[in-house]
């Protein structure tokens, strides 16, 4: 069961911010996420499913979670996700939220802790990741978190908020296809926050998203920290 602590980030301030704290226990920036030769975005990981219990703090909430092999950052909260969780503003208290590419669930759990009345969908192509997120949500009393594979999300479901550490390693074309399948499902007045490493193309992604989403959306750099950008996508009301 999670234990609440006050959130320390200045989450309501807009514009660029810089964070120079040490990222102890987090993924080294740019480290490729594999298990042997297996990519974390495999639908059915072939590595042994060896569960490990971890104690983590997610936006001021202490939680006990299970991680495993064959999922993204299976040993820790990775640095990019840590940057997103530090800088993203408070999510809405009502409506529907999405964690796109949930891994073992740190983003979905954070949304769940902060917004107990928000209906949260955590999606991933990796079935082991989905199972871990479901188990972690249940173990921490977050019954409003629904962990499913991408094809199980109702086609007409739209979202008031999207948080994501998107799988950059799938390649530019596949990444663009993924983002354009989900970002247009933002409701009017909704917001998405994506964390992308600067040297893996965060700034060029901002430019591309602004062109691809066209009218009705505003895309900008929201925060910078530890070599990562947090990208904000707003859909106009």
Domain borders along the chain are: 53-235
88: exposed, middle or buried (Cβ count in 10 Å: 0-12, 13-18, 19+): buried
Q: What is the pTM of this model?
A: 0.83
The residue with tokens 């006050």 is: 6
Which of 212, 210, 218 lies closest to 236 in space, CA to CA? 218
The torsion angle over the Cα atoms of residues 125, 181, 163 and 126, rounded to 10 degrees, is 0
- Number of Cβ atoms within 10 Å of the Cβ of 151: 8
Residue-wise pLDDT tens digits, 92-147: 999 999 999 999 999 999 999 999 999 999 999 999 999 999 999 999 999 999 99
Residue-wise pLDDT tens digits, 31-88: 334 443 344 555 665 566 678 999 999 999 999 999 998 887 777 899 999 999 999 9
**140's tokens:** 């921490």
Cα(104)–Cα(40) distance, integer angstroms: 11
pLDDT recorded at residue 9: 44
CA-based max dimension of the chain: 47
Task: Please report, for residues 71, 87, 164, 168, 174, the alpha-carbon distance to residue 154 in angstroms, rounded to integers and kept in the order given.
Answer: 24, 29, 19, 25, 21
Cα(67)–Cα(76) distance, integer angstroms: 8
Q: How many residues does the chain have?
A: 237
Beta bridge partners of 64: 55
Decide if pLDDT at 8 tops 90: no
Residue-wise pLDDT tens digits, 174-221: 999 999 999 999 999 999 999 999 999 999 999 999 999 988 999 999
Contact 97, 162 (CB under 8 A): yes
Which of 66, 78, 95, 70 lies closest to 26 in space, CA to CA? 78
Among positive and negative, which fits the CA dihedral 155, 145, 159, 33?
A: negative
CATH number of 53-235, picked from 3.40.640.10, 3.50.50.60, 3.40.50.150, 3.40.50.300: 3.40.50.150
Confidence band of 3 (pLDDT split at 50, 70, 90): very low
| C-alpha gyration radius of the chain | 16
């Amino acid at each position: 069961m999670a234990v609440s602590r006050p959130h320390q980030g200045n989450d309501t301030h807009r514009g660029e911010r810089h964070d120079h704290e040490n990222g102890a226990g987090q993924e080294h920036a740019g480290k490729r996420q594999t298990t042997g030769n297996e990519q974390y975005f495999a639908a059915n990981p072939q590595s042994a499913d060896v569960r490990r219990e971890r104690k983590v703090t997610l936006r001021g909430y202490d939680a006990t979670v299970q991680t495993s092999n064959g999922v993204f950052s299976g040993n820790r909260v990775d640095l990019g996700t840590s940057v997103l969780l530090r800088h993203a503003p408070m999510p809405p208290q009502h409506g529907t939220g999405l964690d796109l590419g949930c891994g073992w669930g740190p983003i979905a759990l954070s949304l769940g802790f902060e917004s107990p009345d928000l209906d949260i969908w955590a999606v991933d192509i990796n079935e082991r990741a989905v199972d871990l997120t479901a188990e972690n949500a249940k173990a921490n009393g977050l019954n409003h978190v629904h962990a499913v594979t991408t094809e199980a999300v109702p086609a007409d479901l739209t979202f008031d908020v999207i948080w994501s550490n998107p799988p950059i390693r799938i390649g530019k074309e596949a990444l663009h296809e993924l983002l354009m399948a989900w970002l247009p499902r933002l409701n009017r007045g909704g917001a998405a926050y994506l964390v992308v490493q600067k040297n893996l193309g965060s700034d060029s992604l901002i430019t591309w998203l602004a062109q691809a989403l066209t009218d009705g959306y505003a895309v900008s750099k929201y925060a910078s920290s530890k070599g990562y950008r947090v990208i904000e996508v707003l859909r106009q009301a």
